[in-house]
């Protein structure tokens, strides 16, 4: 068994995106501004997210349903029943939110875009942004027998 922190999985995913920036630039694939990002970037980002983050969580939680519910950059229509990647500051000085995507301000993917969460429900009417250096990630699981909200900070996987 090997233990992984959700924070570590998410930072590895972000690092993978950063490492691909030279490739994106070489092939003129838009990645900096969300308004310029198209299907190619979305599909690459989603594939990395699914394979570096979601697959690990799904395996540890023994829930194949998570593979369809945790989607990079996507707001679920029935957002009050889904599990999500939780973002919050290390000092907890602002309310937590549901991870949506990484964004670029000064350096590649240096910002985290999130949706506020109130009373355990994702609010999709506005987005928040915080710097990557101040963010901690966890996983909020609602896929359990009692439909309780369970926060998971690390997972264990068999090798």
Predicted structure pTM score: 0.88
- What pLDDT shows up at residue 20? 95
Kindly report the average pLDDT of the chain as a whole number.
84
Q: What does each C-alpha distance from 156 to 58, 61, 88, 149 come to in angstroms? A: 11, 9, 22, 19
Give me the sign of the Cα torsion angle 91, 94, 98, 103: negative
Q: Name, in order, each residue with C-beta under 8 angstroms of 67's C-beta and a sequence gap of 6 or more.
A: 50, 54, 55, 58
> 41-45, 63-67, 126-130: which has the minimum mean pLDDT?
63-67
% of the chain at pLDDT higher than 70: 82
pLDDT for position 132: 94
Nearest CA to 72 among 95, 44, 104? Answer: 44
Query: What mean pLDDT do residues 43-51 have?
Result: 94
Confidence class for position 143, pLDDT limits 50, 70, 90: low
| Token couple for 140 | 């909020």
Residue pLDDT, tens place only, 78-111: 555 578 899 988 776 666 888 999 999 999 999 9
Distances 144 to 7, 131, 150 between C-alpha atoms, Å: 21, 31, 8
Alpha carbon distances (Å) from 19 to 9, 25, 62, 100 = 15, 11, 30, 20
pLDDT at 4: 93
Q: Which of 99, 84, 152 is nearest to 130 (CA)?
A: 99
Q: What is the pLDDT of residues 106-131, one digit of tens each?
A: 999 999 999 888 766 677 678 889 99
| Contacts (Cβ under 8 Å, ≥6 apart) of 116 | 95, 97, 122, 123, 126, 128
């Amino acid at each position: 068994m090997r233990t992984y922190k959700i924070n570590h999985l998410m930072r590895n995913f972000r690092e993978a995106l950063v490492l691909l920036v030279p490739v994106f630039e070489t092939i003129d694939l838009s990645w900096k501004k969300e308004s310029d990002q198209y299907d190619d970037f979305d599909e690459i980002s989603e594939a990395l997210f699914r394979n570096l983050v979601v697959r690990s969580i799904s395996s540890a939680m023994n829930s194949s349903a998570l593979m369809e519910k945790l989607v990079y950059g996507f707001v679920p229509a029935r957002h009050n029943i889904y599990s999500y990647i939780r973002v919050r500051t290390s000092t907890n000085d602002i309310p937590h939110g549901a991870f949506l995507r990484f964004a670029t301000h000064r350096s590649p993917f240096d910002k985290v875009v999130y949706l506020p969460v109130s009373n355990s429900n994702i609010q999709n009417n506005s987005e928040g942004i915080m710097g990557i250096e101040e963010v901690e990630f966890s996983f909020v699981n609602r896929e359990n027998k009692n439909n309780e909200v369970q926060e998971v900070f690390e997972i264990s996987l068999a090798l």
